[in-house]
């Protein structure tokens, strides 16, 4: 079936340019009486309207268009218009072979793009014509989406919006390198957020031990009150996820990506190894091969609570005829929905601090783990090495929150050690 009207078709440029009037109709009338041009270039068919019904004028316009395409093709310039949707899809596909980014970064970019692609109007835009105004409109859409998310938050975190802007900036710069944009789009992350949002302090907070114990008691009761086996199983998984996160300090992606083969259940004799840096942790502990990390593969350790948490999760799996192999969480991407429900039921999702609202989520477990170790006197250098982070980050974000009695105890400990050292020196003399 032809796509042109009979009697309204001819070619130009030695048969390489097809000029015609479309035969498509709507309610018995032709949709357009203008002449169109069609040609094949860079492995793809392209079409353009001349914008006129006059044949001679249309030929001149379309011949010029054809010549411009050939010029761009000769100088290796991209001639195809790309929508934002097409760019997002292509960008995600090429992430697999991008060795400049860690697996964690790739996953974060893909997750953010998945959220951005919910804005259908933004996806329709021509990537070469996207402006800061368009991105501002997208941020307004995203802000409204977050406010309507039903999580009880009436404020939007600047860091969340900044993450989305950074992702868009990544894609726009990539589009420029690919030739889909004629110029870079400057100011995406600097001109689209207010100073208040850009410098907004984090709204995430951690758990005290009493809060954590309260939440786990609520979780235990929720498991007992489950109305069916499937719901009980999902709540059990969430329960042990919380225990493992609180007992290891893993990043969320690190924990979610861990396989059973990456974990070793080990014990040690505390009497023989008294005084080592892990002396505050129970005799049973986890030794973990942390592969799915933004800082590269490392060895990690987990407290006895995480050791027994995974042991009990294994029993749950065996009771449900699930093999203890492969991904620990059975390929589940996130516990966000279940954890939010548990936090809200525990009354711990939101905490008021003056005029600010602090929230808790999966990342709060890592913050809590670090704070607990600091309060117990574990050196920040050891914690940093164990968790694949920097002492600068720990000192900046956590030591400021140490309890006063913990700080005093650390000072006294240093003083005691100093006195012992001096005493030993006198004995040597």
pLDDT in the model for residue 189: 84
Tens digit of pLDDT for each residue in 124-147? 999 989 999 999 999 999 988 888
pLDDT in the model for residue 197: 67
Cα separation of 177 and 171, whole Å?
10
pLDDT in the model for residue 245: 96
Cα separation of 11 and 59, whole Å?
9
Using DSSP's 3-state secondary structure scheme, residue 354 falls into coil
On whether the CB atoms of residues 167 and 178 are closer than 8 A, the answer is no
Give 10's Cβ-side CA count (13 Å radius). 11
Tens digit of pLDDT for each residue in 48-75? 899 999 999 999 999 999 999 999 888 8
Over the Cα atoms of the chain, what is R_g?
Answer: 30
Cα separation of 342 and 330, whole Å?
21
Tens digit of pLDDT for each residue in 221-259? 999 999 999 999 999 999 999 999 999 999 998 999 999
pLDDT in the model for residue 275: 47
Give 12's Cβ-side CA count (13 Å radius). 19
pLDDT in the model for residue 425: 36
pLDDT in the model for residue 102: 73
Residue holding tokens 């804005």? 119
User: Please, what sign has the CA dihedral across residues 102, 108, 112, 117?
Assistant: positive
10-residue averages of pLDDT along the chain (429 residues)? 84 95 90 94 87 95 94 78 90 86 81 93 92 93 81 63 91 89 86 70 80 96 95 97 95 92 83 46 82 80 90 96 95 91 93 77 91 83 84 72 46 45 39
Q: Which of 134, 140, 115 is nearest to 185 (CA)?
A: 134
Tens digit of pLDDT for each residue in 360-382? 999 999 999 988 888 878 888 88
pLDDT in the model for residue 406: 45
Cα separation of 246 and 371, whole Å?
11
Element (H, E) at 352: strand 350-353
Using DSSP's 3-state secondary structure scheme, residue 327 falls into strand
**Phi (first) and psi of residue 359, to 5 degrees:** -120, 165
Question: What percent of the chain has a predicted confidence (pLDDT) above 70?
Answer: 84
């Amino acid at each position: 079936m032809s796509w042109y009207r009979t009697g309204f078709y001819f070619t130009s440029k030695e048969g390489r340019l097809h000029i015609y009037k479309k035969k498509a109709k709507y309610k018995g009338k032709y949709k357009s009486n203008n002449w169109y041009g069609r040609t094949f270039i860079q492995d793809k068919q392209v079409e353009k309207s001349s914008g006129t019904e006059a044949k001679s004028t249309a030929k001149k316009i379309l011949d010029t268009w054809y010549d411009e395409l050939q010029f761009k093709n000769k100088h290796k310039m991209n001639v195809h218009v790309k929508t934002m949707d097409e760019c997002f899809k292509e960008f995600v596909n090429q992430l697999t072979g991008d060795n400049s980014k860690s697996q964690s970064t790739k996953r974060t970019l893909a997750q953010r793009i998945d959220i951005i692609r919910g804005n259908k109007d933004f996806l329709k835009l021509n990537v070469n014509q996207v402006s800061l105004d368009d991105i501002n409109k997208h941020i307004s859409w995203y802000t409204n989406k977050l406010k309507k998310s039903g999580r009880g938050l009436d404020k939007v975190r600047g860091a969340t919006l900044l993450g989305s802007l950074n992702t868009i900036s990544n894609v726009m710069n990539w589009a420029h390198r690919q030739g889909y944009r004629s110029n870079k789009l400057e100011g995406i992350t600097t001109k689209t957020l207010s100073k208040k949002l850009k410098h907004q302090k984090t709204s995430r907070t951690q758990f005290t031990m009493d809060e954590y114990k309260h939440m786990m008691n609520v979780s235990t009761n929720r498991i007992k009150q489950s109305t069916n086996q499937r719901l009980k199983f999902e709540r059990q998984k969430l329960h042990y996820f919380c225990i493992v996160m609180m007992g290891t300090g893993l990043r969320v992606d690190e924990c979610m990506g861990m396989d059973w083969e990456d974990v070793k259940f080990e014990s040690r004799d505390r009497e023989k190894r008294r005084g080592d840096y892990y002396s505050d942790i129970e005799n049973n502990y986890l030794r973990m091969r942390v592969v799915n990390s933004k800082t590269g593969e490392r060895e990690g350790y987990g407290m006895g609570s995480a050791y027994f948490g995974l042991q009990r999760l294994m029993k749950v799996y065996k009771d449900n005829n699930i093999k203890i192999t492969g991904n620990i969480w059975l390929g589940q991407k996130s516990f966000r929905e279940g954890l939010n429900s548990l936090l809200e039921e525990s009354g711990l999702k939101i905490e008021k601090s003056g005029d600010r609202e602090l929230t808790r989520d999966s990342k709060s477990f890592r913050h809590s783990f670090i704070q607990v170790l600091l309060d117990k006197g574990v050196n920040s250098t050891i914690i940093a090495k164990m968790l694949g982070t920097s002492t600068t980050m720990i000192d900046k974000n956590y030591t400021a929150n140490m309890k006063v009695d913990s700080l005093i105890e650390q000072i006294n400990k240093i003083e005691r050690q100093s006195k012992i050292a001096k005493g030993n020196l006198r004995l040597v003399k």
